[in-house]
Amino acid sequence: MRKVLRIDGNRDGVKTEFPHVDHQNRLGKEQSCQRCHHIAMPRDNATPCYRCHSNMLDSADIFDHFGHMQLVAEKEKLEGLHPKNHSCSRCHNPSMPNTASNAKACTECHKEDMKIGNEPYARLQLASASPYRSAMHENCIECHEKEGIKQNKPNLGHCSTCHKSLEPVNLKIAKSADTSEASSEPLTVAP
């Protein structure tokens, strides 16, 4: 496992060096994995975020229906001219039209091999994933803001905590009102 991950979802240079092992150790070792890796693809221990959250700004489809039909047909050794067509009833009620809304929840067959854990809702929506930016920021910022309050570090939830490239330019040219020396307070200059 890598100690530090470089994350730059859309390669625009607004990256972060994520201290993966440090976070894991601080948050409870291996028991903490599900805080970030809330789900894994079947037979994968820690699916990287980008595998599901593959679009930076828009939701992304994550369920490969055709591929799933083929895998089910092969696994169950279904026969016939088009064996994958016989796999429909494994997920859909045969007396109803085959639509996503009446399909079984993925967790009915994949709870263990997707390492879902104890999600607070019974039916996970696994057809699509939220945008990459939203997934990262919602997960990270919420935790950083809570920790910032606990540790009396109000800036812990700010962008530049993780994205060093977004740090404000600090200039020590401000003069103190009662002395001619430079102030110890940074002056922030917006780009």
> Tens place of pLDDT for every residue, the chain, 191 residues?
678 888 877 777 777 888 888 888 888 887 777 777 777 777 777 778 888 888 889 998 888 888 888 888 888 888 776 666 778 888 888 888 888 888 888 878 877 777 665 554 445 566 788 898 888 888 888 889 999 999 999 889 888 888 877 776 533 333 333 344 433 343 333 33
**Pair of tokens at residue 64:** 């490969």
DSSP per-residue codes, 93-152? -TTS---GGGBPPTHHHHTTTTT----SSSS---SEE--HHHHHHHHHHHHHHHHHHHTT
Element (H, E) at 154: none
- Give pLDDT, residue 50: 82
Q: Global pTM?
A: 0.62
